[in-house]
Structure 1
């Protein structure tokens, strides 16, 4: 075992009590638990609130022929209090709300709903936990091949309160976009920087080089 390997597993956590004080579109659980400690023995019981979310997926559509990407902009309540504009520029994304639906199938469905796009080949960028200190959400991020000729416009499901603007951006503008701070959510930052690093090899695999 190296220093980077975890010292403990799930067996080293004991959940003493679990309550669900809130259940709406999302769920909040309150856990009383204890876990083993690095210097030996068990720690004292602690209480932690957990924001329970379904697994999620996001995609950065990329057209290797046109050298363009597609991003979406929509209102986000989490940005309301501290951001000049709570309309955020981000990836196409969605939550797994259909039984048995894979992350790839989920994101293909969301691409149609949020941008009218049919995606081709998909490449995994990362799978990560956005904020494990308070939520169990896990996000699978892709880059997806797309034909972006004529892409863009207003999309979304009005019944769900969605009002989404899809827009194309030249890949050459990504560095400027990153520096500007206009994109400030983790999934989008990860995918955009990944594309800058891997664009050449992706173009070869997708037949654009």
Structure 2
């Protein structure tokens, strides 16, 4: 039996205008913030939902930099300790792409350049960076938006024999230069388990021939 295809007009028909936020109350304010939202929204039935209470982790937005040398076909990965991996029993030292959160009044590209310098000693310019996409990390309970960038790097200018990161942020980072294929093998072996790096590597696997 042939299934009918949903018309495009049925996709994502609602917007933020179909949500009514009645109150936002801050339940915790530290390095991060936890807000309690009271809201109602449009239902697919045409009705409006009852008043709903939801907690949202207001982590702030972040930038992730896929550092790639297309001539050498190599990627730069950083390794650092991540306490959030402890509960799941995962290896808490993680292989990641360069990443960091916004400071006040920073643009995404400025965050990318600053974090590349702090975490890998890279001096990137605006022309070295190409936006890939924006995505929401876990919108069911967190407001964070990730800005993913491709960075055009030269591996000959990278020093992997030192540690990086800011002491006042308790960062302790080492660098790894590996081939794109090696990175994808690590991904398939389950050695890379954080979402931003998985998404960045999968994007690279699809698009590297067009770079």
TM-score, scaled relative to structure 1: 0.90
For the residue of structure 2 that corresponds to 1:8, the secondary structure is: coil
Instruction: Please list, as runs of the form range in 1=range in 2, the aligned pairs for 1:171-190 lying within 5 A after superposition.
Output: 171-190=180-199
Instruction: Please list, as runs of the form range in 1=range in 2, the aligned pairs for 1:25-104 lying within 5 A after superposition.
Output: 25-99=31-105, 101-104=106-109
- Contact (CA 8 Å) 1:61, 1:119: kept in 2 or not? no
The reply on whether 1:130 has 2:132 as its aligned counterpart is no
Q: Equivalent residue for 1:207?
A: none
- 1:162-186 CA-to-partner distances (Å, cap 9, x unmatched) read 1111211112312311111111112
Q: Which runs of 4+ in 1 moved over 4 A?
A: none
* Count of residue correspondences: 201
Change in CA separation of 1:119 and 1:51 when aligned onto 2, cut-off 3 Å = same
TM-score, scaled relative to structure 2: 0.89
- 1:116-136 CA-to-partner distances (Å, cap 9, x unmatched) read 012352222221001110011
Q: Structure 2 unaligned runs (5+)?
A: 1-6
Q: Report the alpha carbon displacement of residue 115 of structure 1 after superposing the two structures with TM.
A: 0.6
1:15 to 2, 11, 21: 21
- Contact (CA 8 Å) 2:75, 2:183: kept in 1 or not? no
For the residue of structure 2 that corresponds to 1:154, the secondary structure is: coil
- 1:72-115 CA-to-partner distances (Å, cap 9, x unmatched) read 1111121011134211111100111131x211111111000001
Q: Equivalent residue for 2:159?
A: 151
- 1:150-207 CA-to-partner distances (Å, cap 9, x unmatched) read 43231001111111112111123123111111111121111112222222221xxxxx
- 1:45-75 CA-to-partner distances (Å, cap 9, x unmatched) read 1110001122211001111232211011111
Q: Give the CA RMSD over aligned residues.
A: 1.6
CA distance, structure 1, for counterparts of residue 10 and residue 79 of structure 2: 38
Q: Structure 1 unaligned runs (5+)?
A: 203-209
Q: Report the alpha carbon displacement of residue 41 of structure 1 after superposing the two structures with TM.
A: 2.1
CA distance, structure 2, for counterparts of residue 107 and residue 165 of structure 1: 18
For the residue of structure 1 that corresponds to 2:209, the secondary structure is: helix
CA distance, structure 2, for counterparts of residue 167 and residue 82 of structure 1: 25
Q: Report the alpha carbon displacement of residue 3 of structure 1 after superposing the two structures with TM.
A: 4.3
Instruction: Please list, as runs of the form range in 1=range in 2, the aligned pairs for 1:182-201 lying within 5 A after superposition.
Output: 182-201=191-210
CA distance, structure 2, for counterparts of residue 87 and residue 13 of structure 1: 40
Q: Report the alpha carbon displacement of residue 4 of structure 1 after superposing the two structures with TM.
A: 4.8
